[in-house]
Chain A
Amino acid sequence: MFARCIRRFLLPSPQSLSSRPGIAAVSTTADSSISPVLLRRARSIAEEHTKLANQNAENYDVATAKKIGELSTVTAALAEWDNAQNSIKELNSLLLDPTSDSEIRSLASEDVEATSATVPRLISLLKRSLIPPHPFASLPCLLEIHPGAGGSEASLFAAELLHMYTTFCANKGWKTELVKYEADESAPGSEEGLTDAVLEVTQPGSYNMLKGEAGVHRVQRVPATEKKGRTHTSAVSVLVLPSLPAPGSAGIEDTALNFEDPNSDYYINSGEVRAETMRARGAGGQHVNKTDSAVRLTHVPTGITVAMQESRSQHKNREKAWQILRAKLAQKRREERENELIDLRRKIMGGVSMTGREDKVRTYNYSQQRVTDHRCGSETGSLPDVLEGGQALERIMRDVGEWMQEQEVAVLAAEEEVKASDLKSQKGGRT
């Protein structure tokens, strides 16, 4: 308690700071440092924040207030870090000051330790606050699961992954709906595999939690049908798509996610979507009674198609098909934006991209009862718990999430470096 008090008592006033360069009795360690480019970025955001706040004090504007809100996380994180840095400097100067008495010294050195201990956390907070929010972070999501190489083994494992995610969501109390399910017909009646499934997770923000699941999941095991006991490797690909709000839903009109707005990144011109129903062709009306309710949508410019036939209601099939089409297009456009940076990312991230739908992300090894995530190196020996969507899976997901954030920060720093050197060469060119 006393230490806290003396620290407050000794807290530097802003003016007293500037004129004490080079005094650093306690230096921060390498992993708790922040690169100068990132710090510069944080400072310019904080400046912008102050400017806007002053502006709004005089002349209030909702849009500006919103912007201020967006910048405030960085500003607050930076202020906390600055505070800590300043305290450390101040305390260190006390320690170096020959006139300080021994009691003050011991208190100050205690405080230096306590404050320094908070620095890595503050740094990490500051870095994370700099990551621009993902546009889909707050959305619910759709998980699409397809077997890849490996025949019926792959389709079986696809069904197991579907089960894994379904129970994972149930464990978290998240509602899910199986929007689409196509059974593997190549081995009907035996064990059930699937060739295509879409699971809707209606929980807002589930996109953010599950986005790291996108990619190729590999299974290594001896299939039940394998006579010679050989281990097979099969692959299943998982796509994580944002579930965009339905047209006309409250609150989306002014957001970037309003795909009915031609200025939005996610705008879909309905004129470019071809809708086909199997039943529109041939004889119809009173003469026949068709029960076919299948709908297929094709987005002509990209060639993306979505077919739905689960419901007896064509109306509902159409709605679902639109939802999936919107999700696929939004994801695609988002990826296109990111593509500009992908080379840079690949360099930084050791060959694995953030979105990486072609990349092998995880292996489920049965003989060793082990699950390994190849991105963050996270590993667990509780394969059954993972496949039941339990704690072990959540732990892996969290590790992946951490890893993704680190990558984001690295990318951010790299981008800033590039910007800085561009600026320099521009200046150099001019003089």
Chain B
Amino acid sequence: MPRLPPFLLRLANREFHLLPALLRECRDLPSSRNELRWLTEHAIEQAEKLRTTDLASSPSRTGDCKNVLTPSLPSKTIPGWRNLLRDYVKRREKGEPLQYILGTQPFGELEILCRPGVLIPRCETEVYTSKIGLLARTLLVEQGGKNREQELGSYERPLRVLDLCTGTGCIPLGLYGMLRNPKVKSDEKVEAKGGGKLKLEVLGVDISTTALNLAKENLRHNISLGYLPEQAADEMVFLHADVLLPSHPAPRPAAPYLIDVIEAVLAKGIGKPEIDVLTANPPYISPIHFSSGRTTRSVRRYEPRLALVPSSCPPQSSTSTGLGWSTLTSSPSPGDEFYHHILPLAKHLNARLTVLEVADTEQAERVAELAGRVFVKEGKVVGESTHPEVLIEIWFDDGGTKVWLPSDGVGLGSLESNEVSARAVVVWTQWWATSRRQQL
């Protein structure tokens, strides 16, 4: 937590006349107050940076407690913070995201750099990402050590994580941090049970080079802050590729097709070209929901459409790639397109755990249904008895989990727990599914 010197709180409190401007975006007083404090903090920091770069010889301002009761001090020694603050508040009032103004967003224990052109990590994504990290650790450390040794046989394949549509890289960076820097239990357990230190190979994929550059910068940034170990630079890769089928004709930036890129990378590695954890937060807003009130003005105006709305043409029903697309319906709901490409890929890469973010409970329902069809042969039920090796779950914003069964799936009401929205569709396979089932 950044230190909160009392003078700062006092200062923020004194700028109370700026609160109404923030209220427009924040919508309630407590959040406005918080944002005002964070903006004030940032303004003072920036002003100080400007000052120290301007006047290299200036004496350093200490965080001495003697200054506590002299709130006028910063205004005297750091010129311009008030002007900066006023400017920030004006920008915020127009709808500019707080994170583009401040330049960062906390994500778990990391600090993610944010810049226009790349989607800002959402708090919902942060919540389920740490859930994935915890579950993966539990499986590997407490139950999986032995299974994993058997599975991997004589060679040692690293634990592979693949994040599609990675944007800032927040998901793979967050997972890497959780798998590599376990805070709670000691690493020795992993080493003892997993037979040697856990090796990681974490891949992030995006079609946007702006996003990829920022993701790479985020990797370096968090290493330099000490939030990620140096090793991360060797164990993480960000790749330029298109998740959608080449036959999918919508207009989008040109990039090599994902499956080719991935197979080339995995072929160079050790072991079978397989993935343990596949995650994706693909664009999932339908054009209707984008222009209706559901998508806020700030998001619409300031964040890249490429990150939010799938290109509008439906994929052509194709059997040419041999990944099993033929089993899919040819006209998915608008907004669902990416799932029709990602789920077969997950199956093809033998993903033990697939986590796909979704917009709401209705989309969760459709995607879970689709996952059932992709992972389980047609005509069979995804129940416990017939398919112990596949388990489909829906995760909610409040941390809630529900096992998805096609029989429950008809009524949406059954999933909707009051106001809390579904956030991710989760598919477990192989021994991960078995272990998870025991856990539940």
Contact of A290 among B13, B122, B283, B307 (CB under 8 A): B122
Enumerate chain B residues within 8 angstroms of A314, measured Cβ to Cβ: 106, 123, 126
Cβ contact within 8 Å between B184 and A248 = yes
Contact A183 to B13, CB < 8 A, known contacts A309-B30, A314-B106: yes
Query: Which of A189, A286, A310 has the most chain B CB within a 10 Å cutoff?
Result: A286
Q: Which residue of chain A lies nearest to B422 when distances are taken between CB atoms in the complex? A: A285
Residue from A167, A289, A313 in contact with B65 in the complex, judged by beta carbons closer than 8 Å = A167
Instruction: Tell me, yes or no, whether A178 is within 8 Å of chain B by CB.
Output: yes
User: Is A279 in contact with chain B by the CB < 8 A criterion?
Assistant: yes
- Determine whether the beta carbon of A291 is less than 8 Å from that of B35: yes
Say whether B234 faces chain A, with CB atoms less than 8 Å apart: no
Task: Say if the beta carbon of B98 comes within 8 Å of chain A.
Answer: yes
Which residue of B is nearest A284, CB measured? B124
- Please tell me if A280 contacts chain B, counting CB pairs below 8 Å: yes
| Contact A166 to B299, CB < 8 A, known contacts A181-B9, A281-B420 | no
Contacts of A179 in B (CB 8 A): 1
Asked if A316 is at the interface of the complex by the 8 Å CB criterion, the answer is yes
Beta-carbon contact of B299 and A311 below 8 Å: no
A350 located at the interface, meaning its Cβ lies under 8 Å from any Cβ of chain B in the complex: no
Contact partners of B38 in chain A: CB under 8 A: 312
CB neighbours (8 Å) of A4 from chain B are: none
**Contact yes or no, B124 A285, CB < 8 A:** yes
Cβ 8 A contact of B1, one of A163, A181, A189, A316: A316
Whether B294 sits at the interface, judged by CB under 8 Å, is: yes
Given the known interface contacts A170-B65, A189-B14, the answer about A291 and B98 at a Cβ–Cβ threshold of 8 Å is yes
- Distance in angstroms from A289 CB to nearest chain B CB is 5
Q: Are B294 and A283 in contact (CB under 8 A)?
A: yes
Cα distance A278–B296 when bound, in Å?
18
- Given A286-B299, A288-B299, A289-B99, A178 contacting B5 (CB threshold 8 A): yes
Assembled-state Cα–Cα distance A272/B285 (Å): 37
* Docked complex Cα distance between A221 and B123 (Å): 48
In the complex the two chains form, is A289's CB within 8 Å of B106's CB?
no
* A286-B308 in contact given A189-B16, A312-B106 (Cβ < 8 Å): yes
- Chain A residues with Cβ below 8 Å from B420 are 280-281
Decide if A292 is an interface residue (CB 8 Å cutoff): yes
- With A181-B9, A280-B397, A280-B398 as known contacts, state yes or no: A289 contacts B109, CB within 8 Å: no
Tell me which residues from 96 to 126 in chain B have a Cβ below 8 Å from any Cβ of chain A: 97-99, 102, 105-106, 108-109, 119-120, 122-124, 126
Q: Are B5 and A282 in contact (CB under 8 A)?
A: no
- B65→A166 contact, CB < 8 A: yes
Bound-state CA distance A394–B232 (Å) is 49
A108-B66 Cα distance, complex, nearest whole Å = 58
Which of B6, B98, B283, B296 is within 8 Å of A178, CB to CB? B6
A315 at the interface (CB under 8 A from B): yes
Q: Does B34 belong to the interface (CB within 8 Å)?
A: yes
Q: How far is the CA of A167 from the CA of B399 in the complex (A)?
A: 42
Residue A377 CB within 8 A of the other chain: no
* A248 / chain B contacts, CB cutoff of 8 Å: 183-185
* B284 proximal to A (CB < 8 A): yes
Is B303 among interface residues, defined by CB-CB distance under 8 A? yes
A162 beta carbon closer than 8 Å to chain B: yes
- Given the known inter-chain contacts A248-B183, A313-B1, A314-B126, please indicate yes or no for A294 contacting B6, CB distance below 8 A: no
In the complex, whether B2 has a CB less than 8 A from a CB of chain A is yes
A69 within 8 A of B: no
Complexed CA–CA distance, A167 and B34 (Å): 26
Complexed CA–CA distance, A313 and B38 (Å)? 11
Give residues 386-430 of B contacting A (CB, 8 Å).
397-399, 419-421, 423
* Distance in angstroms between the alpha carbons of A128 and B224 in the assembled complex: 51
- Determine whether A36 belongs to the interface, using a CB cutoff of 8 Å to chain B: no
| Contact in complex: B284, A286 (CB < 8 Å) | yes
Say yes or no: is B56 at the interface (Cβ < 8 Å to chain A): no
| CB-CB contacts below 8 Å: A270-303 with B | 275, 277, 279-294
Q: Is A192 part of the contact surface with B, judged by Cβ < 8 Å? A: yes
Residue of B nearest to A316 (CB): B1
Q: Which residue of A lies closest to B397 (CB)?
A: A280
**Is A247 part of the binding interface, using a Cβ–Cβ cutoff of 8 Å?**
yes
Q: Identify A310's interface contact among B4, B13, B123, B281, CB under 8 A.
A: B4
Which of A373-399 touch B at CB < 8 Å?
none
Q: How far is the CA of A281 from the CA of B298 in the complex (A)?
A: 19
In the complex, which of the residues B65, B127, B283, B421 contacts A283, with contact meaning CB atoms closer than 8 Å?
Answer: B421
Query: With A and B bound together, what is the CA distance between A177 and B6 in angstroms?
Result: 10
Contact B122 A291, beta carbon cutoff 8 Å: no
A262 contacts the other chain (CB 8 A)? no
Query: What is the CB-to-nearest-CB distance from B73 to chain A, in angstroms, rounded to a whole number?
Result: 15
B289 to chain A: which residues have CB within 8 Å?
287
A14 surroundings in chain B (CB, below 8 A): none
Q: B60-87: which have CB < 8 Å to A?
A: 64-66, 68-69
Selected from B4, B14, B298, B398, the residue in CB contact (under 8 A) with A289 is B298
Residues of B within 8 A of A310 (CB): 1, 4, 34
Contact of A279 among B3, B30, B123, B359 (CB under 8 A): B123
In the complex, chain A residues whose CB is within 8 Å of the CB of B295: 286-288
* Cβ A285 vs Cβ B423 within 8 A: yes
Q: How far is the CB of A15 from chain B (nearest CB, A)?
A: 57
A169 to B64, CA, bound (A): 12
Asked if B360 is at the interface (CB within 8 A of a chain A CB), the reply is: yes
Give the residues from 170 to 208 in chain A that come closer than 8 angstroms, CB to CB, to chain B.
Answer: 170, 176-179, 181, 183, 188-189, 192
Take A284-B122, A314-B126 as given contacts and tell me if A294 and B109 are in contact as well, using a CB distance cutoff of 8 Å. Answer: no
Q: Are A311 and B106 in contact, with the CB atoms below 8 A? A: yes
Question: Is the pair B296, A163 in contact by a Cβ cutoff of 8 Å?
Answer: no
Given A163-B69, A177-B3, are A287 and B294 neighbors across the interface (CB < 8 Å)? yes
Residues of B within 8 A of A280 (CB): 127, 397-399, 420
Flag whether B26 is at the interface (Cβ < 8 A): yes
Bound complex: CA A128 to CA B381 (Å): 73
User: Which B residues touch A362, using CB under 8 A?
Assistant: none
CA–CA, A282 and B127, complex, Å: 15
A271 to chain B, nearest CB (A): 13
State whether the Cβ of B329 lies closer than 8 Å to any Cβ in chain A.
Answer: no
In the complex, the answer to whether B34 meets A309 with C-beta atoms within 8 Å is: yes
- Provide the bound-state CA to CA distance between A277 and B108, in Å: 15
Q: With a CB–CB cut-off of 8 A, which chain B residues contact A291?
A: 26, 31, 34-35, 98-99
Q: Which B residue sits closest to A159, measured CB to CB?
A: B6
B119 touches A286 (CB 8 A): yes
Q: Which residues of A are found within 8 Å of B13, using beta-carbon distances?
A: 183, 188-189, 192
Looking at the assembled complex, report how far the CB atom of A237 sits from the nearest CB atom of chain B, in whole angstroms: 19
Contacts of A146 in B (CB 8 A): none
A285 touches B106 (CB 8 A): no
B93 close to A (CB within 8 Å): no
B357 at the interface (CB under 8 A from A): yes
Find chain A residues with CB under 8 A from B146 CB. none
Contact: B124 with A247, CB < 8 Å?
no
Q: Report whether B183 and A286 are in contact in the complex, using a CB–CB cutoff of 8 Å.
A: no
Q: List 13 A-B contacts (CB under 8 A).
A: A279-B123, A280-B399, A281-B397, A284-B123, A284-B421, A285-B284, A285-B357, A286-B122, A286-B295, A287-B285, A291-B31, A293-B34, A316-B106
Closest 7 CB pairs of A and B: A313-B106, A170-B65, A280-B398, A183-B13, A287-B295, A188-B16, A311-B1
Known: A183-B10, A289-B296. 19 other contacts (CB 8 A): A167-B65, A167-B68, A248-B184, A277-B123, A281-B419, A284-B122, A285-B124, A286-B122, A286-B295, A287-B359, A288-B299, A289-B299, A294-B34, A309-B30, A309-B34, A310-B34, A311-B106, A312-B102, A315-B108
